[in-house]
Amino acid sequence: MKWLVNIANKSLLAITLLVINLWLLINDWANHAFAGTMELDSSNKNEMIRFNVNNQFWQQPQGFLWYNEDHAYKPEILKFSQDKKNQKPELEPYDQRIEALKKEFNRAQRQALDNPTLENVIIAQRLHKQILEKSHKFATMWQLATILDYKLVNMDEPVNSLHKKLYEVRQEEENSKKLRLLAKDWGLILQVNQGCEYCHAFTPIVLEFANKYKFQLLFVSNDGENFEHIKTTRDTGLLSRLNPTNFVPVLYLVDSSGKQIYPVARGIINEDKLLKIFY
């Protein structure tokens, strides 16, 4: 029995040592595993942080960041646009030559005006001659073009001196017909005053105009006194309402019924200007 007890004690001691060794091994493994996990987590976090930082550093602006970046360049773009608008278009070669000749002549003319020496005046005249020669050549070719191409000629507008003369004659004939037709229903009243020198000067012009186009002419004065031995009618008050200051001479156009009257000339005018008023 004694040896059985010894064996049991030895077995219990061996089991106890085995349990202790197992517990120490488990403990040691757990410590190493936890430490490895910590190192792994720390390493992963560092890698993630480095990745995010690198990603943010190289990442191109997106969303509102893109518009912010665009705003940063706007002043330069605006300045470039303004500079481009302010740039004058490049002149054609013929424009450059004409402008250069004009500037050269203006400069020479001012220089000669400021310092009228013979040399300065000759330079200005030579430049002026160049301009006149160019203008003469242009006018000659212009007339030649109208002769060669009949489509360029407008029969209602004179293009040369002969055409202009014929045009004026034809216009005068047409206007004479219109005025003679007007004289059938309308007449003229000339308001005068015996002591008015302008009235004496204007009367022959009006008389010739009235006789030429068959207008009936009536002389009216404020006091009724005859004017240059011409029978004169006294104003009944109608002209005073149209001419309160009694300014003379005044020429009126009046219809045959006497209901319509219009002042057409105040003071002295020649026949040409008088014709333009009626035309």
CA-to-CA distance for 234 and 241, rounded, in angstroms? Answer: 14
Report the domain count for the chain. 1
Instruction: Tell whether 41 is covered by a domain.
Output: no
Range among 1-5, 140-144, 233-237, 259-263 rated most confident: 259-263
Question: In which band, very low, low, confident or very high, does the pLDDT at 16 lie, cut at 50, 70 and 90?
Answer: low
CATH label of the domain that carries residue 270 = 3.40.30.10
Question: Tell me, what's the pLDDT at 21?
Answer: 61
Give which of 242, 249, 241 is closest to 268, Cα–Cα.
Answer: 249
pLDDT at 203: 95
* Tens digit of each residue's pLDDT (9 = 90 or more) over 199-241: 999 999 999 999 999 999 999 998 778 888 888 999 888 898 9
Mean pLDDT of the chain: 78
Asked if residue 68 has pLDDT above 90, the reply is no
- Distance CA(156)–CA(212), nearest Å, equals 26
Q: CA angle, corner 208, sides to 257 and 215, nearest 5?
A: 15
Q: What is the pLDDT confidence band of residue 51, given thresholds at 50, 70 and 90?
A: very low
* In the predicted structure, residue 273 carries a pLDDT above the cut 70: yes
- Tell me if 8 is assigned to some domain: no
**Residue 42 CA to its chain's centroid (Å):** 74
Q: Note the pLDDT of residue 40.
A: 45
Strand residues in 51-204 grouped as ranges (E):
186-192
Most confident region among 41-50, 133-142, 159-168 by mean pLDDT? 133-142
Could you give the angle at the alpha carbon of 77 between the alpha carbons of 76 and 81, nearest 5°? 115
> E-assigned strands of the chain?
186-192, 217-221, 232-234, 250-255, 261-266
Whether 218 maps to a domain, the answer reads yes
In a domain, 59, yes or no: no
Residue 140 and residue 146: Cα distance in Å, rounded? Answer: 10
Owning domain of residue 204: 185-278
pLDDT score at 90: 84
Q: What average pLDDT score do residues 86-113 get?
A: 90
Encoded amino acid at 264, one letter: V
